[in-house]
Chain A
Amino acid sequence: MATTHTRSAARLMMAPSVILLFAWMIVPLGMTIYFSFLRYNLLMPGMEEFTGFLNYQFFLSDPAFFAALSNTLLLVLGVLLITVIGGIAFALLLDQPMFGQGIVRILVIAPFFVMPTVSALVWKNMFMNPVNGLFAWIARSLGFAPIDFLATIPLLSVIIIVAWQWLPFATLIMLTALQSLDEEQKEAAEMDGAGFVSRFIYIVLPHMARAITVVILIETIFLLSVFAEILVTTNGGPGTESTNLTYLVYAQALLQFDIGGASAGGIVAVILANIVAIFLVRLIGKNLEA
């Protein structure tokens, strides 16, 4: 149906979004790369000079970088572990016949719509606060000493908060996949004498494999850049115990005004994310053809 006329019209219609996105991707990235080779501090304007790979050398040998890198990975893996397993469990549960399924579903999905700053502050103050928080009250009523979550286990606290926000997403995707599973297939297996466990391992899990991969990859993209939850709860502290790469770059740029060093950090973060992105693009690309 496409004639040369409609084809050139199509190209014209695509131009705005392609040009805008191209500019949005290439201009800031190019500038970040350029800054990363400069000695550039906002407190010393006019002193910029080319320093080669010095910024990278400093950034990569900074102990804070290793802390941030391992925190980033722990945060991503921790949240993934909780949300994927929890998501599958919830999806299986919600798929069972019950009363008021729609309402339970709504309750479970709700946290996804809470803005990050709200969920972080609600958890920080009303649940994890060692004096007035609900957890402290529960601990005291059970006869334990309350835990000062954000001071003693800051990274785990952030993981709990972020996992609470992402569990609904995982549940929703898994449930959608689960509901597309043919009921008769399960019944046939059941009649052949397959128990719950073998039905789960040989029928349900393979059917959900794709949804699980999608959840893992998409969450990873977002979790690599967790920011607001750290900013309003721990500010990356104590020390660098809950600093991830995103927060480290932010602190270096907008709190210490070290543009060169922060840019080098930004580029490192981009490279890390790209490694993940390659897998995601492959996966979704495959789907597009099907």
Chain B
Amino acid sequence: MARKVSTKRKLVMTAIAWTLGFLIFFPILWTFLTSFKSEGDAIASPPVFLFFHWTTENYTEVQSRSDYVLHFWNSVIMSVGSTLLGLLIAIPSAWAMAFSPTKRTKDVLMWMLSTKMMPPVGALIPVYLIFRDMGLLDSRIGLVIVLTLINLPIIVWMLYTYFKEIPGEILEAARMDGASLAKEIVYVLTPMAIPGIASTLLLNIILAWNEAFWTLNLTTSRAAPLTTFIASYSSPEGLFYAKLSAASTMAIAPILILGWFSQKQLVRGLTFGAVK
């Protein structure tokens, strides 16, 4: 039963939690605020928090100097493309493992998980050389392939845990009532599987968007997604704080919003169903 909590205690907790939460969030807030400052205000000492001349010129500057939109689209294409491709490959297998398990299903799942644990440096050199010889370095296609493969185990696992929650009896009942396999899939399975597929889609777009080992090593300019593009600010150009902030804000905003919607799935996806 819910206990009565004194308002005073509740207020104290609220104050502590909000303060700490604000501190954790502060770097993001600061980046957001700085993106609207002039370069002079951005490095002002003492720093200016809210009362400065707000400007959006950094955003237009970033675009005109470095074709920001190109890199943004690269990120979109790669994260969405690799996730859709991954789903296409993973849905049949997760489906088979959930509804027609064999003695070895568990071993296969475990083995898939273990591929995720191989450190990327173990594969970096051959992949780099193969990509170089095939002309796939700095190409969107190459990166979509790699991102699909590195996230495939997570996609299969997440789908598997969701599919397993669909009771097989419902499908059997549909079959008894004379539904064909096609009807079974379209009218019975899909409506029940969609939420799980959507969560998997969301989480994997986030993971692919933020992936920063393969993207940094396999792309340089043409196909560079935002991770690589932002990394180019580690040169002295990064000292233009306002522009760095504008580029960063645009790079994290879409995924931050998606992320806030997928908190629960995040736990489940990243722990491979071990914590729900």
B13 in contact with A98 (CB, 8 Å): yes
B189 to nearest A CB, angstroms? 13
CA distance A266 to B122 in the complex (A): 5
For residue A177, CB closer than 8 A to chain B, the reply is yes
Interface centre among B89, B120, B122, B260 (most CB of A within 10 A): B122
Which of A32, A108, A118, A262 has most B Cβ within 10 Å? A118
Q: In the complex the two chains form, is A112's CB within 8 Å of B259's CB?
A: yes
Are B3's CB and A227's CB within 8 A?
Answer: no
Number of A-B contacts (CB under 8 A): 316
Flag if A164 contacts B226 (CB, 8 Å): no
In the assembled complex, how far is the CB of residue B190 from the closest CB belonging to chain A, in whole angstroms?
16
Are B97 and A14 within 8 A (Cβ)? yes
Measured CB to CB, the nearest residue on chain B to A132 is B43
10 pairs, A vs B, C-beta closer than 8 Å? A18-B108, A27-B126, A32-B122, A32-B123, A93-B20, A105-B263, A108-B24, A113-B259, A227-B120, A281-B110
Provide the B98-114 mask, 1 if CB < 8 A to any CB of A, else 0. 01101000101110111
Q: Chain A residues with Cβ under 8 A from B127's Cβ?
A: 28
Number of interface residues of B (CB under 8 A): 101
Shortest beta-carbon distance from A186 to chain B in Å: 10
Which B-chain residue is minimally distant from A93 (CB atoms)? B17
A117 at the interface (CB under 8 A from B): yes
Contact A210/B274 with A110-B256, A112-B259 known, Cβ cut-off 8 Å: yes
A227 to B231, CA, bound (A): 12
Chain A residues in 8 Å Cβ range of B30: 122, 126, 134
What is the CA–CA distance of A14 and B5 in the complex, to the nearest angstrom?
A: 53
Per-residue CB contact flags for chain B residues 235-270 toward chain A (1 = under 8 Å, else 0) read: 000110100110010011001101110011011001
Partner of B239, one of A25, A125, A265: A125
Other 14 A-B pairs with CB < 8 A, given A115-B227, A122-B31: A6-B100, A24-B152, A32-B123, A107-B24, A110-B24, A113-B210, A115-B210, A115-B226, A115-B251, A123-B27, A183-B1, A228-B213, A269-B119, A284-B272
Judge whether B275 and A214 touch: CB under 8 Å.
yes
Question: Which size bracket describes the interface of A in this complex?
Answer: 35 or more
Residues of A contacting B153 with CB < 8 Å?
21
Give complex CA distance A109, B264 in Å. Answer: 11
Min CB gap A124→B, angstroms: 7
Whether A113 contacts B231 by the Cβ 8 Å rule is no
Bound state CA distance, A107 and B172, in angstroms? Answer: 45
* Measured CA separation A32–B129 after assembly (Å): 11
Q: Which of A53-61, A196-204, A244-252 contacts B (4 or more CB under 8 A)?
A: A244-252
Q: Does B18 contact A (CB under 8 A)?
A: yes
Query: CA separation between A39 and B33, bound complex, in Å?
Result: 52
Contact between B256 and A114, CB atoms less than 8 A apart = yes
> B149 and A20: CB pair below 8 A?
yes
Determine if A173 and B241 form an interchain contact, defined as CB atoms under 8 angstroms apart: no
Q: Which of A185-202 contact B (CB under 8 A)?
A: 187
Question: Which residues of chain B from 132 to 161 have any CB-CB distance to chain A below 8 Å in the complex?
Answer: 149, 152-153, 156
B149-A288 in contact (CB<8A) = no
**Complex Cα gap A283–B110 (Å):** 11
Q: Is the CB of B45 within 8 A of A228?
A: no
For residue B148, give the distance in angstroms from its CB to the closest CB of chain A: 8
Q: B241 contacts which chain A residues (CB < 8 A)?
A: 125-126, 132
B-side contacts of A269, CB under 8 Å: 119, 121-122
Contact of A273 with B172 in the complex, beta carbons under 8 Å? no
The 10 residue pairs across chains A and B that have the minimum distance between CB atoms? A28-B123, A13-B92, A31-B126, A113-B259, A228-B212, A10-B96, A10-B100, A107-B21, A277-B117, A232-B234
